[in-house]
Amino acid sequence: MSLRLGDLAPNFVAETTEGTIDFHEYLGDGWGVLFSHPADYTPVCTTELGAVAKLKSEFEKRNVKVMALSVDGLVDHAAWIKDINETQHTTVNFPLIADKDRNVSQLYDMIHPNANENFTVRSVFVIGPDKKIKLIITYPASTGRNFDELLRVIDSLQLTAKYSVATPANWKHGEDVVIAPAIKDEDIPEKFPKGHTKIKPYLRTTPQPNI
């Protein structure tokens, strides 16, 4: 199954380190991040799970719940989490799915045979409150993810979902944004009372509207 942006995120019920979880129920009316790991006891994954644990408060500020997946079982997960907590100086504080039967991995197309027939690639899915997929990123197993960048993207997704704007290259929270081309010049003052700059007819910027 090949998922694309805008598709409904497939629901599933899975065993996790925090009990049996129905994915859609777990997300509730908030945002979600589902991300996969090639296997337990792998070095890059260990650093990634530690990084996400340290950023949990940042995800919570954005009303985002995170859930990780590995193709190993709960016993291995429990022992591995002890290693993560020890080596990364944190406490894993989110569910880790046990996907030994590969059900969730296959549902989300996380196993790429040309990369590895047995293990998941480093997939990331950001899911909106409507349970639709807003972002898909796939990394090779050898490359760790930048979770600060993921938070930046979530900031952009949440902003652009509510306002008729887009975020320019390298945008960060608090910086100017781009007014959507569909907005007519004469409608800008009412929609964006903070003012705007017209650089080109198609390139108009305004201060971030939600701060």
CA distance 127 to 119: 23
- Length of the chain, please? 211
Structure tokens at 11: 């629901």
The DSSP call for residue 131 is S
Q: Which of 101, 35, 34 lies closest to 72 in space, CA to CA?
A: 101
Element (H, E) at 81: helix 74-88
Pull the structure tokens for residue 55: 């950023």
Measured between alpha carbons, how far apart are the two ends of the chain, in Å? 40
For residues 122 and 111, what is the distance between their CA atoms, to the nearest angstrom? 9
Place of tokens 């009412």: 190
Active-site amino acid positions: 45
Give backbone dihedrals phi and psi of 26, rounded to 5 degrees, phi first: -60, -40
- CA 17 to chain CA centroid, nearest Å: 20
